[in-house]
Structure formats: C-alpha cells, structure tokens
Amino acid sequence: MDVFMQEAIREAEKGLEEGGIPIGAVLVYDGQIIGRGHNRRIQNGSTILHGEMDALENAGRLSASIYKNCTLYTTLSPCPMCSGAISLYGIPRVIVGENENFVGEEELLRSRGVTLDVINDEKCIEMMKKFIRENPILWNEDIGE
C-alpha cells in the first residue's frame, strides 16, 4: 500500500481514538505531506471538519500553483462539501481509500477534470463498515441524512 494512504489511514484511526468518525486525509505536494487531517466534527462540535477539509485547513493558505500540483489521499469517497473544496482549489488528483460504504461526488470530480483513483483498501472498508454499524446516528449526521 502507498505510504501516503497509510498516513491517511493513521489519521482516520486517530479520529476514531478521539471518539470521532474514522475518515482521514493527507495533502501531498512534491512527494511531501503538506497537510493532514481527520474528521473532527464530533471532537470540535464542527459542521465542516471532514477529513479532507481538516487536511486542507492544516495545510494553511497556499498559492493556486501549489494546489494545482497536489494529490489528496482520503480514506473515503469525498462528500459534496469536500468535492467542492477539491474543485475550488483545482486539486488535480484524488486517491480514495474506499467507496463501498459511501460513494461521494466522484462523477462531479471527474467532470471537473480530477483524476480519481479508487483503491478499495480492505482496512478502509472494514473500519468504516464497523463504525457505521456501531454508530448509525453519528454516521447519518455526518453525511447529512
């Protein structure tokens, strides 16, 4: 498995350890992680801190030329909000850990020219499946149902 996806999984596990939803992400530029994050909606009482949004926030303010040369690794298919941020900043490539438990706005991203690679990693799949089974109310809240 790719080292960057391993780091995204570590972020997801950190979120779970904190009592949150196990979704993690890392933003990679020039072979280096420049932003990492995990879903912290529960921990921070936040409406927007999905894993991808947290990674972007933690990367800090960057120039458009940096975003346009980044790859975002995320353990779960990006939701409409996160897909909007990916599109807004022109991130050209997203590596998705899994889309069996949730299929986000993959077609929107592709229609915007984003290269989307879904690897359906067994660890990502099982971690989310277990969380959804044990925490259906929190999961439904997170995806807006």
Catalytic residue numbers read 52
* Alpha-carbon radius of gyration of the chain: 14
Candidates 79, 16, 90, 8; CA nearest to 50 is 79
72: helix, strand or coil: strand
In single-letter form, the type of residue at position 37 comes to G
Enumerate the H helices of the chain as residue ranges: 3-17, 41-44, 51-59, 64-67, 80-89, 106-111, 122-134, 136-142
Cβ atoms within 10 A of the Cβ of 16, count? 18
Candidates 129, 140, 143; CA nearest to 98 is 129
